[in-house]
């Protein structure tokens, strides 16, 4: 839908998953999990997001405490070094969230298309 001056108007929105009224995962935490998956490190994931290590660790800890299974597990350092990896549950969480995100985006697109005429009339 177009506004005066040729600018487009769409319905937008964000979503997140809550557990007992508290945020469990949303866009930021899913991105953090993806970066941990790709780097094998909370520290590297945090740096790549320009996020403090403590904030990243607190997010991981919060997800692990709330979920029925661990999302992320850490290996202690040593000769081979430590590391962090996502569990099968954590990988599934990313897939489920991204699937819901695609459906959410499609739904918002449908709403935008359905109500385009009403918004166009209201902005003239």
Write out pLDDT tens, residues 80-123: 667 899 999 999 999 999 999 999 999 999 988 888 777 666 66
C-alpha 36/C-alpha 9 separation (Å) is 36
Which of 69, 109, 119 has its CA nearest to residue 93? Answer: 69
Q: Is the torsion defined by CA of 85, 44, 68, 76 positive or negative?
A: positive
pLDDT of res. 27: 96
CA distances from 56 to 15, 29, 30, 50 (A): 20, 9, 11, 10
* Inter-residue contact 63 to 71 (CB < 8 Å): yes
Residue ranges per structural domain of the chain:
17-122
Average pLDDT in the 59-66 region?
A: 94
Q: What is the pLDDT of residue 72?
A: 96
- Tell me the pLDDT tens digit for each residue of 2-61: 444 445 678 889 999 999 888 899 999 999 999 999 999 999 999 999 999 999 999 999
C-alpha–C-alpha distance, residues 119 and 124, integer Å: 9
Note the CATH number of domain 17-122: 1.10.10.10
Predicted model pTM: 0.83
pLDDT of residue 26: 96
Q: Strand 22-25 to strand 17-19: parallel, antiparallel, or no bridges (unpaired)?
A: antiparallel
């Amino acid at each position: 839908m177009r506004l005066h001056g040729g600018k487009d108007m769409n319905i937008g929105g964000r979503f997140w998953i809550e557990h007992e009224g508290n945020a469990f995962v949303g866009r930021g935490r899913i991105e953090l999990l993806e970066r941990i998956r790709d780097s094998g490190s909370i520290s590297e994931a945090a740096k790549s997001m320009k996020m403090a290590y403590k904030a990243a660790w607190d997010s991981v800890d919060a997800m692990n405490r709330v979920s029925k299974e661990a999302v992320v597990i850490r290996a202690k350092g040593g000769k081979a070094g430590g590391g962090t990896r996502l569990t099968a549950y954590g990988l599934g969480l990313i897939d489920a969230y991204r699937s819901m995100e695609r459906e959410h985006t499609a739904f918002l697109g449908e709403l935008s298309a359905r109500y385009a005429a009403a918004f166009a009339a209201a902005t003239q």
